Amino acid sequence: MMLALLGIAIAVLLIIRVPVAFAFLGPSLVYMWVGGQSVGNALREVFNAADSFPLLAVPLFVLLGSLANRAGIADRLFRFALAVLARVRGNLGYVSIGTSVGFSWMSGSAIADAAALGKVQIPQMVREGYGRRFATGVSASSSLIAPVMPPSIPAVIYSGLAAVSTGALFAASVLPAIAMAVGLCIVVAVLVARNPKIRRGEFDRREVLASTKGVLLPMVTPVIILGGILGGFFTPTEAAAVAVAYILVIALIQRSLPWRELLEALKETVLTTGAIMLIVASASLLGYILARERLPQLLTEAMFAISDSPTVFLLMTVILCLILGTVIDATAVLVLIVPILIPIATSYGVDPITLGVIVIISLMIGLLTPPVGTVLFVTASVSSSRVGEVFRGTMPFLIPFLVIVAVAVAYPPVIMWLPGVLGL
């Protein structure tokens, strides 16, 4: 009964648009007080959740993405991809995806990707006759590559919660992220073939050479991050710190980051990190309550009563994540469900790395689905479009994401292929 009342209270607060962190924290504190639990113990649980060395990488990766954006790296990647693919019919659609892949090596955030690239890509696609629905759809959908491709902020949070190797989770995420990009390209090819207004551009060798100079130094960043982590030279936190220092050096050399923009990047990092950590802390208290009420054990027994198949467990997990991702922030969902799912996954013999990749991709799909759909609102804002129009534009691009999740559920070893090759 107490859990039911707790769930109803949280649902009501979320419906009336109370911030997620406070929607979790308020009812949880009331539960502790009514149950005769120490409020001091509750606060200690909240602070302990934020006092985590792996989570120290989160503000550094947020800062890295903000610096890359404000230093104009996203614009340079767009110019380079556009120059290289000038002769390809429908090139702006492929450029949007390719730029997202390149920027994902530095940002790790779908929202940062959508904000930084959408305001450049969407107006140009509309001017070239692509149609606003297509332009907003491909731009919003391609931004989902960033939180899957390393350095992924959700992966850092998951690895800290599940006590697994961040490097192994990063490695396991590479192949699904590439598959997402390929799937989006296939959808672009199909949609472009049905639009006779789209024409090829003119290839300019001088533009290719000029744009290449602008991306050579920034594209060393993923080598620093992934090479350092997978090679055992850095922890993820150290790799993020080194990458931030490297971006600052590039910005200094290229004079692309004025002092005002640097201060804005630091301010954005503080605000974003504060929001993430507040969600992590409040959701951890709710997780403590659910564990105290033996919810993981009850769910394990209920799921085994339904089926003892790992595939069925993963399928139910995907459905749960797709539903929760539509109404709750992905960070909050991760902090809430990962401590519950890990023991259940262990009972089913599911690798926690495999579970992590499937959970992250499933939750990221929620960024493109109402009523929360953060990326939908960001894309609508930067393109002066209606949220409904953006959502209709993204619908064809959701298909490859769902196919990738289905393949991962049906054949989990495909996710662990690269970690196995690297010995992680």
C-alpha distances out from residue 6 to 156, 225, 239, Å: 29, 41, 40
What tokens appear for 356 in the block? 């992590």
| Strand locations in 61-124 (E) | none
Give this prediction's pTM.
0.85
Phi-psi region of 232 (alpha: psi -120 to 50; beta: other; left: phi over 0): left
Report the chain's C-alpha Rg in angstroms: 22
Quote the Cα angle for 182-187-193, to 5°.
Answer: 125
Residue type, 242: V
Report the distance separating Cα 95 and Cα 101, nearest Å.
10
Structure tokens belonging to residue 284: 């951890």
Q: In this structure, what token pair is assigned to residue 292?
A: 């105290």
Structure token digits, residue 73: 């790296």
At 1 the pLDDT is 66
Tokens of 359: 């959970």
pLDDT at 181: 94
In a 3-state reduction of DSSP, which class is residue 368? helix
Cα–Cα distance list, 378 to 288, 301, 362, 391, 414 (Å): 33, 41, 20, 12, 33
Cα gap 239→292, rounded to integer Å: 36
pLDDT less than 50: residues of the chain = none
Domain boundaries, the chain: 38-422
Q: How far apart are CA 184 and CA 207, in angstroms?
A: 26
